Amino acid sequence: MSAADTTGEVRTTGGTATAGAAATAGATAAPALRAEGLRRTFGAFVAVDDVAITLRPGRVTALIGPNGAGKSTVINLLAGTLIPTAGQVRIADVRVEGLRAEEVALRGLARTFQTPKLYEGMTVLDMVMLARDRFGRASFLEIALSLPRTRRDRQASRAAAMAHLERVGLGHQADRLATSLPVGSQRLVDVARALASEPDVLLLDEPAAGLDHTETHELTDLIRAIAGEGLAVLLVEHDMRMVMSVADDVVVLDRGRLLAGGTPEEVAANPAVIEAYLGTVAA
Ligand SMILES: Nc1ncnc2c1ncn2[C@@H]1O[C@H](COP(=O)(O)OP(=O)(O)OP(=O)(O)O)[C@@H](O)[C@H]1O
Ligand SMILES: [Mg+2]
């Protein structure tokens, strides 16, 4: 398969039985996100070069590659955290490259961070409730005066945030300071925060880093369930066992360029991938 074909749109039978139907349907669904010709330079250094990625509703696309390959930079480019030097990003066919991250988020994209950005002094629940702010109906004046609609908004926001925390297995940690949690749990708070914005497109940057075996397994199930609900998911992940079990499609990045793409099985058997990526992991 050529690099030009390495988008997340290859039909596959990957995934669990329950999510499989949604994933198969998603293979032909209109893209939730499509990026083409993505390039980003830092001075003379080319971090991302001519990358194309298509994410479809109901499908999990894994983005893998060695350290420094440009995976987080791709997420930053898709999410509006970084502006591309060249290339296009469309969400539901509307161009978004050049928009600020907050504006991209309003168009239905949520992302987690490889290093979660949690605020000092805020509880786990507060962090997730932040993502619910845009659903509030109270006006600035109503909020300032703490009028009933403000309180109702807050109760609804709290209930929704708790439900998302329960989903990532952190309901019992809701009142702890977010920054006091182990880093693996902090990443799960970030996942709950991203889910709480009720996105159509979810970008996860190494969400399993720092989790133990059981937690990783639970996160794998959660990601499949999320895709089963129709979200388009991009998963950056080093754990190949997790990638093999959760991804419908895999895109491989090496030194900023697409190296290969296809089903997890195709990619795992690709000699160029084994040399560039799996070989370095085994070493
Ligand atoms: N703001 C920046 N300024 C300069 N160079 C940068 C910047 N951000 C990323 N880079 C460089 O771009 C390259 C790709 O970085 P990136 O963080 O995207 O890699 P990655 O694939 O996510 O790696 P990892 O698996 O270690 O998280 C690296 O060489 C990195 O040093
Ligand atoms: Mg990274």
Could you report the average pLDDT of every consecutive run of 10 residues in the chain (283 residues)?
Answer: 39 40 64 98 97 97 95 98 97 94 95 92 93 66 66 84 96 96 94 95 96 93 96 95 94 95 91 74 44
Q: What is the pLDDT of residue 3?
A: 40
Alpha-carbon distance of 174 to 158, in angstroms, equals: 10
Number of domains in the chain: 1
- Ligand 1 near 65 CB (within 6 A): yes
Q: What is the pLDDT of residue 95?
A: 96
Query: What atom in ligand 1 is closest to the CA of residue 76?
Result: 18
Nearest CA to ligand 1 atom 29: 68
Measured in whole angstroms, the distance separating CA 168 from the mean position of its chain's CA atoms is 14
Q: In what order do the strands lie in the sheet with 249-254?
A: 109-111, 201-205, 232-236, 60-64, 249-254, 257-262
At 124, which CATH number? Answer: 3.40.50.300
Please give the model's pTM, rounded to 2 decimal places. Answer: 0.87
What sign has the CA pseudo-torsion 36, 249, 239, 15? positive
Domain range for 88 is: 3-282
> Which residues does 111 contact at the CB level (< 8 Å), separation at least 6?
75, 78, 79, 81, 194, 202, 203, 204, 205
Distance 98 CA to ligand 1 centre (A): 20
- Ligand 1 near 71 CB (within 6 A): yes
Q: What is the pLDDT of residue 103?
A: 94
Distance 74 CA to ligand 2 centre (A): 9
What sign has the CA pseudo-torsion 33, 38, 42, 43? negative
Nearest CA to ligand 1 atom 14: 70
Q: What is the pLDDT of residue 273?
A: 87
Q: What is the pLDDT of residue 45?
A: 97
Q: What is the pLDDT of residue 136?
A: 57
Distance 147 CA to ligand 2 centre (A): 44
Distance 114 CA to ligand 2 centre (A): 6
